[in-house]
Amino acid sequence: MIRYLLRRIPAALLVLFVASVAVFFLLRLAPGDPAATLAGPDASNETVEAIRQQLGLDRPLVIQYLLWLGGILTGNPGESYLLHSPISELISNSLLNTLELASGALILAVVGGGIVGYIMGSSRTSWISSALGLLTSLAVAVPTYVSGVLFILIFAVVNRLLPSGGIGPGLADPAIGLQYLLMPAIVLSLPTGATLARFLSASIRQTIDEDFVQTGIAKGLRRSRLMRAHVIPNALPPVITVLGIQIGQLLGGAIIVETIFAWPGIGQLLLQSVIGRDYLLTQGLLMLAVVVFVMVQIVTDVVDAAMDPRIRLERK
Amino acid sequence: MRNAPRNGRLGRRTAAVAAAAVSVALAVSGCVSAVDSQPESTPAAGGILQIVQGADISPSTLMSQNNPNFSINRLVFNSLVELDHKTLEPTPELATEWDLSDDGLTLAFTLREGVTFHDGKAFTSADVIGSIQTLLRDDVPSQLKHVAKKITDMVADDDLHVTLTFSQRMSNMFDLFEMMRIVDVDTVDKLLTGEEFNGTGPFKVDTYTPGQGLELTKNEDYWKDGAPLLDGVEITVVRDSQSMLSSLKSGQSDLALDLAPLDASTLASDQQYEVVQSDAFDSTYYLGSNVSVPLLSDNRVRQAIAYSIDRDRVLQQVLGGVGQTTSLPWSPASPAYDESKANFYDYDIAKAKDLLNEASATGASINVYYDAGFAPNVGLAEIVEFNLTEAGLKPNMMPVQAAEFLDKLRSGGFDGLFMTGHGFGQLNPATLVKGAFPYNADKNASGFDNQEYKDLANAVWTGETGDKVATDALNDFLLDQQFVSDIVNTTHTFSISNKVKGLAWTMLDYIDLDQAYFG
């Protein structure tokens, strides 16, 4: 298994290097000037030029890239142009918030999607499957900016049951913090949970049709035992692969949900940095996304391989 | 929400399901309501005012007028004077008296006694000089730098007296001393990077979380007796206007700054809220022309464009009726405002077509740039596209991001028309024609470099405030040249819960909560 893991590392490092070049230079191709943004409206050329020098933006691009890469490798990705704070600090604060949101959403998606997917896949009552199929289709189809606004309208404006946005005291007061988390986590979990449910139900049905399951049925195995011991373990690997991809999409979806619910996470920070052309902060955030994506893919591959020896052997 | 629309209520079953779900959440979280835990709104002195605004503050632009700083400029800092909203005459703030020499070249300020910064340090004339020096730094932007640059000498006569000498008379001298925040010279570098906010204002910055907001607490040593009444203010950045509206309507916040006009208009029928319009009317939407583009170098084409815009439709459909249509940049509060000329350009497609024919420009293609990240611009763009097409032009609408727009605006890089808003129509007219980018006679976004315009701008600048002859000539010139076609003069809005009383603001729309309270 370790050898299997080690074989993936050079490719991952190459991906990270290519991503760093792409992130740095593509961002510079986008029109807009962070110095002009920082100077605000009606600023003179002298002011913008002075700020550009202060930020080091007057240096050659290659030098800027190497300085940034050196900073990344030594654990100092620099300071945000607009927020005047160390990028590592900004990212870690926002990341914790996003992880809180994403974890909440992931738990809801896995638990909810798992239960619904199991019912859909194993139910012998066709209307239950159809109804749940319709609901999951709806959950996948409705964008989070629509469901988010609806949730706020129903639970915060019309009925003042939950806060409309913000992060609250977080862990300092978990009772309150959980209420701030509830709505955005549900909204974020809907498409992921529904996707998982649909994949799981399809995978369960496919597995039930396999010969070894049909043999078990023919031999009179109890349905619950059959599902627990044979169907679910064989239906799960493709769903776990999908879950890996969905985690990436969940983090991407967090950008919209964070904006709607004013949740100060990575998504909001990225949006703010892109709008303001805060190069260093945007670069740091995009690289973080690439690292997370690469790591999730490696972990997914490893878990797949651990669960299914055929994969391990095939990739040898 | 007292006036929750009846048709917006949930059906019984849905409500039961929703209530059950929330009850489970409340049970899990210990039965404490996050909604109820919002700071209490007490009817007398005290209480924490919750403000939401669409963007984070920008400490490095504190010496200029920049919308995100409207919340903290007057809450944390003071200026030497504030302009009267009707006469634009200076009124005392940190300066109690001033004496301007007859030739307008020497200005002596007497400073208020007993004022301290939040860290306890006494405010003195050195801080006035330090603040001017800060504003003059190359890396510190300010629309009134052109005034400060004319200061040739600054003398601290003693701790409470400072004398400034100018190289020329200027009609907008006091605009500078209203805009310039008085900062502590010892901590100004940390201020500009948002690390330390040491002002003399009614509230101290307790915490600032970049990108998220600020917590302010009452300054117990504030120089104004009995103020402030509030215990504190919390400012939260909520980037989406709709989310700001939800925050206000759900009772999570008390005051929303600059909601998108159409979002604000939804509060009109709700007696729990009020959309307060600032009397400054310092925001004007305009269509600028880059006069170096061959098509737009012809004055007749620019006039045709001015005639083709349906300003009433923009006012009603895009800005919810807040403001007035205009052909000139001035707020009704401005000494240069002339009612007889304010609507010179009516919506007249026939006249627009004639002018385009005369200039052989019918059917010509033109790029129209706008910042698509700002909701009203999108609505404005749709109307402009329709109107220009009606007149016989072929507009190519070019939505761009804010950073690109700002960069191109500053560098004059638009190869066609551009739409956005400008301020400074409410102050002394010289501030607009010498400091605001679209109209700056020395360098503007239109590339309009014209000696006559420079002379007119200088006449307004160096003459008496509100000199009718100078402003008349300037208005006639602007109406004729149309390198900027103003469309609608509107204002900043404060969407506020009715339980908050005593909200005030300066002529720069900096909110003033000295006398604000929950009632």
pLDDT tens sequence across A258-276 = 989 989 888 888 888 988 8
Beta bridge partners of A47: none
What is the helix (H) or strand (E) element at residue A55, kind and residue range?
helix A45-55
Each residue of B211-227: pLDDT tens digit?
889 999 999 999 999 99
Residue A41 has its nearest CB partner, among B66, B243, B247, at B66
Walk me through the domains of chain B, giving residue ranges and CATH numbers: 283-490 (3.10.105.10)
What local confidence, expressed as pLDDT, does residue B314 receive? 96
Instruction: Look up the pTM and report it.
Output: 0.84
> Is B484 within 8 Å of B418 (Cβ atoms)?
no
Task: Please indicate whether, in this complex, the C-beta atoms of B246 and A30 are within 8 angstroms of each other.
Answer: no
SS3 content of chain A, % helix, strand, coil (to 5): 80, 0, 20
d(CA B188, CA B147): 21
Q: Does A135 touch chain B (CB under 8 A)?
A: no
Q: Are A262 and B247 in contact (CB under 8 A)?
A: yes
Q: How far apart are CA A215 and CA B61, in angstroms?
A: 75
What's the sign of the alpha-carbon dihedral B90, B94, B96, B97?
negative
| Residue B10 confidence (pLDDT) | 36
**Contact in structure between B248 and B495 (CB atoms under 8 Å):** yes
Q: Is the pLDDT of residue B350 over 80?
A: yes
CA angle, B209 as apex, B206 and B210 as ends, to 5°?
A: 135
Mean pLDDT of chain B: 90
pLDDT digit string, tens, across residues A154-179 = 999 888 899 998 887 777 788 888 99
| Inter-chain residue contact A161 with B18, CB threshold 8 Å | yes
Helix, strand, coil shares of chain B as percentages rounded to 5?
Answer: 30, 25, 45
Half-sphere exposure of B76 (CA within 13 A, CB side): 29
| Nearest residue of A to residue B28, measured between CA atoms | A175
Write out pLDDT tens, residues B187-215. Answer: 999 999 999 999 999 999 999 998 889 99
Tokens representing residue B473 in the block: 């000539």
Q: Comparing C-alpha atoms, which of B403, B322, B482 is closest to residue A35?
A: B403
Q: Which residue of B has its CA nearest to A32?
A: B404
Note whether A111 contacts B: Cβ–Cβ < 8 A: no
Mean pLDDT over B389-409 rounds to 93
Query: What SS3 state is found at B370?
Result: strand
**Ordered DSSP codes for B422-483:** E--SSS-HHHHHHHSTTT-SSS-TT----HHHHHHHHHHHHS-TT-HHHHHHHHHHHHHH-S
How many C-beta atoms surround the C-beta of residue B10 within 10 A? 15
Question: Which residues of chain A carry a pLDDT beneath 70?
Answer: 1, 311-316
A156 interface with B at CB cutoff 8 Å: yes
What gap in Å lies between CA B146 and CA B133, rounded to an integer? 13
Short-list A186, A264, A95, A160, CA closest to B238: A264
Contact state of A31 with B404 under an 8 Å Cβ cutoff: yes
Chain A residues close to B143, C-beta within 8 Å: 41-42
Token pair listed for B379: 């609505």
Interface contact B193-A180, CB threshold 8 A: no
